[in-house]
Amino acid sequence: MPVPAPNLYPDFNTIRLSHICLNVKDLAASRVFYTEILGFQITDETDSRIYLRAMEERGHHSVVLQKSDQPGTVEVLGFKTYDEDDLDRAAAYFQARHRPTEWVDRPYQGRTLLTADNMGIPLEFYHKMDRLAPIHQKYALYKGAKPLRIDHFNCFSTDVDASVACYSDFGFRVTEYTEDEDSKKLWAAWLHRKGSVHDIAFTNGTGPRLHHVAFWVPTPLNVIDLLDLMATTGYVDNIERGPGRHGISNAFFLYVLDPDGHRIEIYCSDYQTVDPDLDPIKWDLKDPQRQTLWGAAAPQSWFEHGTKFVGVDVKASAITASPIIAP
């Protein structure tokens, strides 16, 4: 099945992904991991939440760590719209498709629409977030991997074709994809709004679940520095995969697990996709360089472990095809 043509004039205009709220068991343990190891900056903290931003981000937060009795789950994925009126258009859009819609109060955000995609993944859209002073040249603050900005979400989907159709309809554009040659169904796809390879990606599997959230770092050396730091501070077992380079996206990557099992990608080196008529790149599922241009093949956990969204039931995918897995 071919990927859908891009909808260049969607009902509402999403600029980019914005933030994620992760549920955790121990705020103190998560605080250490995200600030001292990964290198995020705290913008506020309470007894129940810690708000974080990366070094180039001017918005108040891109990560919210929330103390919860359901640790290891995801509360919501956040996106920013072009203007305030886009929020009303988004509400009308999701209501017309019989998706839940609710206006919610979020600290440091203006009017916020809470809804869900076709698979039930909770999404929130906002236009205004409190702006903070720039810190990208405050080099004394840089720690850990020195993350610069949030880059993308990757989610397991039981029907990647349906997920791609849903997001394409409200303006996301496919950059790369993998098709199962037997069923002619999509096995995975990468979609963007902001002009990089992806703001969100979908991979075949038990879902919907979050596979990972990714953050951009300046150079491959930042990935190596993070590995050295984790290996000597008690986090060596939290290193899951990498370093290596993906065939898809060309990203230089490392995947680690936080104290609650949320998978975090630290990476750099993908490419620009601004042109609206850019043709998506197709990959063969059995191509060994698809996942890993070089480096060790993905472990079994890569295909099985994900974090659930709060209140969303999961089911197995009907597609049984599998890419190359490390022995």
DSSP letters for 31-67: HHIIIIIS-PEEEEE-SSEEEEE-TT--BS-SEEEEE
Taken in order of first residue, the domains within the chain and their CATH numbers are 14-131 (3.10.180.10), 145-308 (3.10.180.10)
Beta-bridge partners for 112:
104, 126
Segment 187-213 mean pLDDT: 97
Q: How far apart (Å, rounded) are the C-alpha atoms in residues 146 and 273?
A: 24
pLDDT of residue 287: 86
Segment 142-164 mean pLDDT: 97
Q: 74-125, pLDDT tens digit by residue?
A: 999 999 999 999 999 999 999 999 999 999 999 999 999 999 999 999 999 9
Residues with Cβ within 8 Å of residue 178, at least 6 apart in sequence: 186, 187, 188, 189, 248, 282, 283, 284, 285, 290, 323
pTM (2 d.p.):
0.96
List Cα–Cα distances, 24 to 41, 50, 61, in angstroms: 18, 10, 17
pLDDT of residue 184: 85
Structure tokens given for 304 = 């099985």
Q: How far apart (Å, rounded) are the C-alpha atoms in residues 132 and 141?
A: 15
Q: 29-87, pLDDT tens digit by residue?
A: 999 999 999 999 999 999 999 999 999 999 999 999 999 999 999 999 999 999 999 99
Judge whether residue 321 has pLDDT over 70: no
**231 three-state secondary structure:** helix
Residues with Cβ within 8 Å of residue 284, at least 6 apart in sequence: 178, 181, 290
